[in-house]
Structure 1
Amino acid sequence: MSALHDFDTWEPLLTLLRAEHADRPAAGAGHLAGSISSTGWSLPLSHRLPPRGQPAVPRDRQPVARAAAAVQYALAAAGIREAMFAADVAPDGRTVLHVFDAGPAMESASGFRHPSPGTLVLVEGAVAEPWRRLPAPTPGAVPAPSADPALLERTLRERLPDAVGATEEEIATAEKRLGVTLPEELKALYRVTRVCPAGPDGSGDWEADSAEPADAESAVGCELTSLDGLFIADTTRRPGPWQYAATEAVVTPPDAAVQGLVGSPGWIVFGSNGGDDFAVDLTPGPRGHLGQVVLIDHEQHIGAELYGESLTDLVLSRFENRVPVSRHEQRSPVTARIGDHFDLVDLASAAHPDLEVVQIFHRSGAPLGLAPIAGLPRVRTLIAHPGTLADPLEITGLTGLEYLGLGPDEWRVLLDAGAVPRGLSAACVEVRGDEHPLTVVSVANDLLALRDRPPIAHTAVTGRLRP
Structure 2
Amino acid sequence: MPSIHDFMTWEPLLRLLRAGNAESLAAPGGHVAGRIGRGSWSLPLPRRFRRPGQARQGEDMQDEVDAVERVRSALADVGADGISFMVEISPAGRAVLYLLNPSPAVEAGIGPHPGSLILVEGSVPEPWRRLPDSVPGAVPAPSMDLALLERTLRERLPDATGATEAEIAATEARLGVALPDELKVLYRVTRGRSQDWGGDYAAASRAFEAIGCELFPLDHLYIADAPSRPCPWRFAATEAVVTPLDAAVQGLVGSPGWIAFGDNGGGDRIAVDLTPGPRGHVGQLIMLGHEQNIGAVLLADSLTDLVVNRRSDSHSGHGSDQPPAVANVWSLTSLQAAAHPELEVLSIGVWDGEPLSLEPVTGLPRLRTLTAYPRTLADPLEIAKLTGLEFLELGPDEWRVLLDAGAVPRSLSAAAIEVHGDRHPFPITAIANELLALWDRPPITQTIIEGDLGPAA
Residue 224 (structure 2) aligns with? 233
C-alpha distance 290-439 of structure 1, shift in aligned 2 (>3 A): same
Contact 2:132 2:250 in 1 (8 A): yes
Q: CA deviation at 1:119?
A: 1.1
Residue 310 (structure 1) aligns with? 302
Q: CA deviation at 1:171?
A: 4.5
**Which ranges of structure 1 fall in alignment gaps of 5 or more residues?**
199-205
Q: Cα deviations across residues 169-227 of structure 1 (Å, max 9, x unaligned)?
A: 665554444333333322333344444688xxxxxxx6877698776545423322344
Q: Cα deviations across residues 370-392 of structure 1 (Å, max 9, x unaligned)?
A: 11111111111111122222222
Contact 1:142 1:290 in 2 (8 A): yes
Contact 2:119 2:439 in 1 (8 A): yes
SS at match of 1:427: strand
The match for 2:270 among 273, 278, 287 is 278
- Aligned AA (2:299): Y
Contact 1:362 1:385 in 2 (8 A): yes
Residue 137 (structure 2) aligns with? 140
SS at match of 1:278: strand
The match for 1:248 among 239, 244, 250 is 239
**1:289 aligned onto 2:281:** yes
The answer to which of 454-463 and 373-382 deviates more is 454-463
C-alpha distance 366-97 of structure 1, shift in aligned 2 (>3 A): farther
Q: Cα deviations across residues 79-125 of structure 1 (Å, max 9, x unaligned)?
A: 3321212233445554433210112111111xx2x531111111222
Residue 70 (structure 2) aligns with? 70
Contact 1:104 1:454 in 2 (8 A): yes
State how far apart, in whole Å, the 1-side matches of 2:334 and 2:93 are: 48
SS at match of 1:283: coil
Q: Cα deviations across residues 331-388 of structure 1 (Å, max 9, x unaligned)?
A: 972111123xxx2243211111111111112211322221111111111111112222
Aligned residues: 452
State how far apart, in whole Å, the 1-side matches of 2:160 and 2:204 are: 10
The answer to which of 30-39 and 151-160 deviates more is 151-160
Using the size of structure 1 for normalisation, the TM-score is 0.87
Residue 38 (structure 2) aligns with? 38
- Aligned AA (1:243): R
Using the size of structure 2 for normalisation, the TM-score is 0.88
SS at match of 2:400: helix
Contact 2:24 2:31 in 1 (8 A): no
**1:79 aligned onto 2:79:** yes
Q: CA deviation at 1:464?
A: 4.8
Residue 202 (structure 1) aligns with? none
Higher relative helix content: 2
Instruction: Give the percent of matched residue pairs that are identical in Structure 1 and Structure 2.
Output: 58
Q: Cα deviations across residues 212-266 of structure 1 (Å, max 9, x unaligned)?
A: 8776545423322344443221112211111321111112222221111111111
C-alpha distance 77-220 of structure 1, shift in aligned 2 (>3 A): closer
Give the aligned CA root-mean-square deviation in angstroms: 2.9
- Aligned AA (1:84): S
Contact 1:27 1:91 in 2 (8 A): no
The match for 1:262 among 249, 253, 269 is 253
Alignment of 1:416-427 (within 5 A): 416-427=404-415
The match for 2:180 among 163, 183, 187 is 183
Contact 1:294 1:304 in 2 (8 A): yes
SS at match of 2:338: coil
Residue 379 (structure 2) aligns with? 391
The match for 1:409 among 397, 407, 415 is 397
Residue 129 (structure 1) aligns with? 126
C-alpha distance 173-49 of structure 1, shift in aligned 2 (>3 A): same
- Aligned AA (1:286): P
C-alpha distance 288-463 of structure 1, shift in aligned 2 (>3 A): same
Q: Cα deviations across residues 277-309 of structure 1 (Å, max 9, x unaligned)?
A: 221111111222221111122222111111111
State how far apart, in whole Å, the 2-side matches of 1:177 and 1:77 are: 34
Contact 1:149 1:184 in 2 (8 A): yes
State how far apart, in whole Å, the 1-side matches of 2:424 and 2:249 are: 46
State how far apart, in whole Å, the 2-side matches of 1:230 and 1:184 are: 15
Q: CA deviation at 1:456?
A: 0.9
**1:359 aligned onto 2:350:** no
C-alpha distance 150-393 of structure 1, shift in aligned 2 (>3 A): same
SS at match of 1:77: helix
Contact 2:48 2:60 in 1 (8 A): no
